[in-house]
Amino acid sequence: MNDIGIVIVSHSKNIAQGVVDLVREVAKDVEITYVGGTEDGGIGTSFERVQAVVEANSKETLLAFFDLGSAKMNLEMVTDFSDKTIHINYVPIVEGPYTAATLHQGGAEQVAILAQLAELKMEK
């Protein structure tokens, strides 16, 4: 299997956990790290928590997914400080990781996964 992992960043612990639960139903062999909410259990994101889940993922190439603005901002900042290759995907928080993980589990190459994700891209 390709050396790709998935990172999910949400403002909510429950959203992040729910996405991971759903994805793991179809992609048990794909490495997923995630974070949702603040250290004290509130709603929000932080650079430190996002950096921790990026570094906790053993894969060197990561497909990253987020729910809202500051999650995106923190992912972008972490990308600047990480030696890993991080592809931040501007796609729906459920459909994006589900699509990527399903394709990856099935043996699709990174280029094919990124092409499918491009079709889901949200234009704001």
Give catalytic residue positions. Answer: 11
CB 71 within 8 A of CB 45: yes
**Rounded distance between C-alpha atoms, residue 90 and residue 83, angstroms:** 21
Q: In the numeric block, which tokens belong to residue 48?
A: 């430190």
Q: Which residues contact 89 (CB under 8 A, 6 or more apart)?
A: 63, 64, 65, 96, 100, 117, 120, 121
Question: 3-class DSSP state for residue 90?
Answer: coil
> What is the end-to-end Cα distance of the chain in Å, rounded?
34
